[in-house]
Amino acid sequence: MKIGIIGLGTVGEGVFKVLTNEKESIFEKSRADIEVKYACDLNIEREFSFDFDKSVLTNDYKKILNDPEIKIVVELIGGETIAKQIIIEAFQAKKSVVTANKALIAKYGVELFQLAKENGVSFLFEAAVGGGIPIVTPLMESLVANTVTEIRGIMNGTSNYILTKMKEDNLSFDEALKIASEKGYAEADPTYDVDGIDAGHKINILASLAYGGSIKFKDMQLSGIREISTVDIFSANQLNSTIKLIASSKLLSDKSVQISVEPTLIPNSEILAKVDDVYNAIETTGSYTDKTLFYGKGAGMDPTASAVVADIVKIVTRNHIESDYFFNSTKVFEIVDSNTVKDSYYIRVSDDFDIENSPFELINQIENYYIILANNISKNEINEILKDAKEKLILRVMK
Ligand SMILES: NC(=O)C1=CN([C@@H]2O[C@H](COP(=O)(O)OP(=O)(O)OC[C@H]3O[C@@H](n4cnc5c(N)ncnc54)[C@H](OP(=O)(O)O)[C@@H]3O)[C@@H](O)[C@H]2O)C=CC1
Ligand SMILES: N[C@@H](CC=O)C(=O)O
């Protein structure tokens, strides 16, 4: 089957490399005979990391969309403008699409799935969550016997890399982010990584797959790792805990979910506390399986390419579930405000706060901050108590 790859950046070059270098072994294992007819990028004069026939290169993606021989379009540009247009035009031209574009799926999944269905083509996106970790296929297929009620984990490689390097190597936030970008982990706009937006896209997708229906991305509560300081990393360590950016989702009823992304203190005895560098780990709770953990590299050229290639093979071999259950517009979950949920919290507050006359018990004082652990209280209640403090940070504590 002839395919076209659009976007030869970190992931696109990786996919083209794997399909070129592993052509025979993929055929041997799956009987999928995949030929990259066109590989498209804006800059086709640059050096590539592997050898191939340069005549397949083009800088005009329309060549791919207009070629009736091409049955699968692999969209790896990213972003929400031209990439969305390409996917829509591919569907209209009766071509299946494989993408890693989680931003598009989280925001426009309902619309795109509907269009794929109307045109009788497939739309697969294993690489959109967890890089090289198979997690989309398990939720859509392998765990089909279960009602999956909870999903939680580390879903952004860049922020996990930054937190690890700040803790282990004393790197500054900016130094660690620079290396993550050089390694190809970060998004084109790294604010998506560090502000919890990328992890938000991913948990939105997983929850939509697990519960059926859809969840409005714009209504989700997201916070990132920008405000985490060395004081917090040190304090967490003293509490035998580690700070990780956790995306989580809990099915509360057939109409409502609790879903968020937030930096969280995790006891060092928990597996998630030990997931470092670019690794991701995603834990699902199923009605029959109970807890299942998926662990692996969450970003980067080779792991992500592995997931994209798996989707291409699935389409070529017609080996995947097509269903109206996922991203269904008729079932939209209400999001419960997690700031109202009583939980345990780590608090760092500037020492202008009148701690003597507060309900909180001081556990440490570092530089100009009080460190507090508070139990059975909501974030909104804490914010009310701390409302006059000059500076504050409130992190959920995982139980
Ligand atoms: N990097 C990772 O580890 C992962 C990325 N993803 C997702 O995969 C997608 C791709 O990411 P990534 O490879 O990192 O991004 P890159 O920015 O590295 O690659 C995108 C490529 O697309 C090219 N491009 C832009 N516009 C066009 C166009 N009109 N026609 C042809 N090519 C174009 C860019 O060229 P130029 O640079 O000249 O603009 C660039 O080479 C994104 O959706 C991302 O979220 C998913 C999982 C992991
Ligand atoms: N920027 C993302 C890339 C993979 O999805 C990340 O760091 O996890």
Average pLDDT over the chain, rounded to an integer: 97
Q: What is the mean pLDDT of residues 36-45?
A: 98
Q: What per-residue confidence (pLDDT) applies to 328?
A: 85
Q: How remote is the CA of residue 281 from the centroid of ligand 2, in Å?
A: 13
- Split at pLDDT 50, 70, 90, the class of 392 is very high
Q: Tens digits of per-residue pLDDT, 52-61?
A: 999 999 999 9
Would the pLDDT of 321 be above 90? no
Which one-letter DSSP state was computed for residue 55?
A: G
Which one-letter DSSP state was computed for residue 278?
A: T
CB 102 within 8 A of CB 205: yes
The model's pTM: 0.97
Q: What tokens does 155 get?
A: 């879903």
Closest atom, ligand 1, to C-alpha of 43: 38
Would the pLDDT of 323 be above 90? no
CB 193 within 8 A of CB 186: yes
Ligand 2: which residues within 6 Å by Cβ?
A: 131, 156-158, 185-187, 193, 198, 298-299
Q: Tens digits of per-residue pLDDT, 207-255?
A: 999 999 999 999 999 999 999 999 999 999 999 999 999 999 999 999 9
CB 25 within 8 A of CB 316: no
Q: How remote is the CA of residue 292 from the centroid of ligand 2, in Å?
A: 22
Mutation pick for ligand 2 pocket among 156, 194, 297 (CB with most ligand atoms within 8 Å): 156
Q: How remote is the CA of residue 231 from the centroid of ligand 2, in Å?
A: 26
Q: What per-residue confidence (pLDDT) applies to 66?
A: 98
Name 286's Cβ contacts closer than 8 Å, sequence gap at least 6.
Answer: 143, 145, 146, 147, 148, 149, 292
Q: What per-residue confidence (pLDDT) applies to 324?
A: 85
Ligand 1: residue whose CA is nearest its atom 36 = 42
Closest atom, ligand 2, to C-alpha of 299: 4
Q: Would the ipTM clear 0.95, i.e. be above it?
A: yes
* Cα gap 19→112, rounded to integer Å: 26
Helix (DSSP H) and strand (DSSP E) numbers for the chain:
13, 18
Q: What per-residue confidence (pLDDT) applies to 282?
A: 98
Q: What per-residue confidence (pLDDT) applies to 158?
A: 98
Q: What per-residue confidence (pLDDT) applies to 368?
A: 97
Pick the ligand that lies closest to the CA of residue 105. 1
Q: What tokens does 374 get?
A: 């508070």
Q: What per-residue confidence (pLDDT) applies to 301?
A: 98
Mutation pick for ligand 1 pocket among 5, 17, 41, 124 (CB with most ligand atoms within 8 Å): 41
Q: What per-residue confidence (pLDDT) applies to 26?
A: 98
The finding on whether 86 has its CB within 6 A of some atom of ligand 1 is: no
For 237-260, give one letter per residue: b (16+ CB within 10 A) or e: eebebbbbbbbbbbbeeeeebbbb
**Known binding-site positions for NADPH:** 102
- Split at pLDDT 50, 70, 90, the class of 322 is confident
Q: What is the mean pLDDT of residues 125-142?
A: 97
The finding on whether 382 has its CB within 6 A of some atom of ligand 1 is: no
Q: What is the mean pLDDT of residues 135-164?
A: 98
Instruction: Give percent of the chain above pLDDT 90.
Output: 96
Q: How remote is the CA of residue 113 from the centroid of ligand 1, in Å?
A: 22
Closest atom, ligand 2, to C-alpha of 130: 5
Helix (H, G, I), strand (E, B) or coil at 134: coil
Q: Tens digits of per-residue pLDDT, 247-281?
A: 999 999 999 999 999 999 999 999 999 999 999 99
- Split at pLDDT 50, 70, 90, the class of 297 is very high
Q: Tens digits of per-residue pLDDT, 154-192?
A: 999 999 999 999 999 999 999 999 999 999 999 999 999
* Cα gap 77→61, rounded to integer Å: 11
Side chain identity at 103, as an amino acid letter? A
CB 273 within 8 A of CB 242: yes
Name 337's Cβ contacts closer than 8 Å, sequence gap at least 6.
Answer: 221
Active site residue 202: yes
Question: How many CB atoms are located within 10 Å of the residue 59 CB?
Answer: 11
**Helix%, strand%, coil% for the chain, nearest 5:** 35, 25, 35
Q: What is the mean pLDDT of residues 322-330?
A: 87
Mutation pick for ligand 2 pocket among 155, 177, 193 (CB with most ligand atoms within 8 Å): 193
Among 67, 130, 56, CA closest to 95: 67
Q: What tokens does 24 get?
A: 């025979």
Q: What per-residue confidence (pLDDT) applies to 399?
A: 84
**Known binding-site positions for L-homoserine:** 187
